[in-house]
Amino acid sequence: MSFWELFTETLPGYYDAIFATIQITLLGIVIGVIIGLIFAFMKVSKYKILIFIADLYINIIRGTPLVVQIFVLYFGLVQFIDLGRFLSGGIALGVHNGAYIAEIFRGSIQSVDRGQSEAARSLGMNYTLSMRRIVLPQALRRAIPPLGNQFIIALKDSSLVAFIGFQELFNRAQRIQSSTGMAMESYVIVGIYYLVLVLILTFIVNRVERYLARSERGVKHE
């Protein structure tokens, strides 16, 4: 069987795997953004205990391999509640991405001129209101480029949930390789699918960046 024959014959079987990859990546991103925001606020707080907890979480997650975290979470949760491979894998991806997204948000928040917060306070806004209306909108704009990079990494990292049996793209490639014996061809094909998904996601992120840049220029001109 030639490479092209393998590609065309296995294409229908990849549809479900592509959809599963997108689903688990989105779940990991949503959970990661929520966790990242929470721990970013903890990092920029004035309470040392919150900063310590945030640093501990970030250092542990960034200091251990994602595949180990997936195994620990999946096999640890299954002892108490069986969430299934999809939820367990998505939560593991979210916890992993959350550590990196927390640092992205923290850097973006701290990059906003402190004088703007002080000006908001002088107008009678409390910390929460000034953060929501003044700081966060600017911080989120600045966070888009590094967030886009992290989302792309999350998409590629989703391949690791194949090791707990979740049937996404890489898992499908492993099964095709096992049934056909065409190892190199199978993994080149799945690499093409990942590349296409990454290019689509990159296009979306670039469009969002351009839209925000135009809107920000419009606000400044006003």
pLDDT digits (tens, 9 = 90+) for 95-112: 999 999 999 999 988 887
Angle (deg, nearest 10), helices 169-180 and 3-43: 150
How many CA atoms are closer than 13 Å to the CA of 157, on its beta-carbon side? Answer: 26
Which tokens sit at 22? Answer: 């997108």
pLDDT at 217: 59
Give the pLDDT of residue 161. Answer: 92
Contact call for residues 169 and 18 (beta carbons, < 8 A): yes
For residue 96, the model assigns a pLDDT of: 96
Per-residue model confidence (pLDDT) at position 201: 93
At residue 124, the pLDDT reads 67
Q: Residue 216 has what pLDDT?
A: 61
Can you state the angle between helices 84-111 and 3-43, rounded to 10 degrees?
A: 50
Q: Quickly count: other Cβ atoms within 10 Å of residue 63's Cβ.
A: 8
- Residue 195 has a CB neighbour count (10 Å cut-off) of 11
What residues in the chain have per-residue pLDDT under 50?
A: 219, 221-222
- Residue 118 pLDDT: 67
Q: What are the pLDDT digits (tens) for 76-88?
A: 876 777 788 899 8
Domains of the chain: 3-221 (1.10.3720.10)
